[in-house]
Amino acid sequence: MSEINENATNTKDVIILGSGPAGLTAALYTARAFLSSLILTGMSLHGQAGSTDIIENYPGFPNGIGGSELGLLFQSQAERFGAEVVMDQAISVDLQKYPFIVKTYSSTYAAKSIIISTGATHKKLNVPGEKKFTGRGVSYCGTCDGWFFKDKDVIVVGGGDSALEEGIFLTRFAKSVTIIHRRDKLRAGAFLQKRAFANPKISFIWNSVVTEIIGDDSLQAAKLKDVITNEENIVSIDGVFIFIGNEPNRQLFEGQLELDEEGYIKVNRFMETSVSGVFAAGEIADPHFRQVITSAGMGAAAGIQATRYLEDLESDGS
């Protein structure tokens, strides 16, 4: 093996990129195996799950649990076994050297193995006005920003679980919540649909997309287009919440790891990537399920395999 980059200030058995359910579960397993395990949190502590108001489908919590609370429990359990959590973000990863080199805003590390759990980011509509009003009426997190829309009229764009979960949450504050969906039926689970349809504050506009977000100093309206008739109309609203899917946070790994056609990191059933010693878990490698429990399961598998990979290296005398 080549020498560790001389700029590396710390060498770890495992560096875990991301602090969502996948990363923290992976750290739990590697730390319990007495491997030096460093978690770089990235910009979003506890991942997207950490900003979810309530998680009702994670086993062991029959009454549900707040996303931030569950994230803290995950973190506390990993730290109990010696995992180190650092509030920092990787800005470059070199998988061509071994040990691998991970640079952050504040340090440089060498890693004998890496577990990637960088997750995914909310997709944008990419329509006029969206960027202008982001943070000033346009949001991608109802849990984060719902309070600012007390007694106001908002629209939620999307038809999946996230759109309905956040829409239902927003009814705590908003006067009305209108869900805009490009199809005539929702993709969300049956239980969420039942709750949404039963909520008197929620209404639906079907077969429609947002083509523009309108306002001067403040957001005032959205332009909608019927995808069947092409008819356009403008609705007066105070806020736009967008939940139309996710984009995998893969930028650091493009050209270094094999990706699928949607940009997700390809893994086998052992969470192994195309580079030996590098594993991926959670939404960065899962475009389909995208659940806390499946991410945690993938994290557990990645942690176990990283441990076995390092054990094999040691037994080989490498």
Q: Give residue-wise pLDDT tens across range 268-278.
A: 999 999 999 99
CA distances from 35 to 12, 29, 31, 308 (A): 8, 9, 5, 11
Q: What's the mean pLDDT in 67-87?
A: 96
Tell me which amino acid residue 130 is. Answer: E
Q: Is the pLDDT of residue 69 over 70?
A: yes
Cβ–Cβ < 8 Å for 257, 276: no
Residue carrying structure tokens 């493009």? 254
Look up 312 and say whether it is catalytic. no
Look up 88 and say whether it is catalytic. no
Q: Give residue-wise pLDDT tens across range 17-33.
A: 999 999 999 999 999 99
Residue 17: which of 80, 101, 132, 127 has the closest Cα?
101
Cα 245 from Cα 118, distance rounded (Å) = 16
Edge-to-edge strand ranges of the sheet holding 232-236: 208-215, 219-226, 232-236
Query: Residue 148 CA to chain centroid, in angstroms?
Result: 23
Report if pTM > 0.85: no
Residue tagged active-site, from 145, 161, 238, 286: 145
Cα 53 from Cα 103, distance rounded (Å) = 33
> Domain 10-121+246-315, what fold?
FAD/NAD(P)-binding domain (3.50.50)
Per-domain residue ranges of the chain = 10-121+246-315, 124-242
Tell me which amino acid residue 232 is. Answer: E
Residue tagged active-site, from 13, 53, 88, 141: 141
Question: Which pLDDT score is estimated for 4?
Answer: 43
Residue tagged active-site, from 144, 184, 260, 312: 144
The CATH architecture that domain 124-242 belongs to is 3-Layer(bba) Sandwich (3.50)
Look up 153 and say whether it is catalytic. no
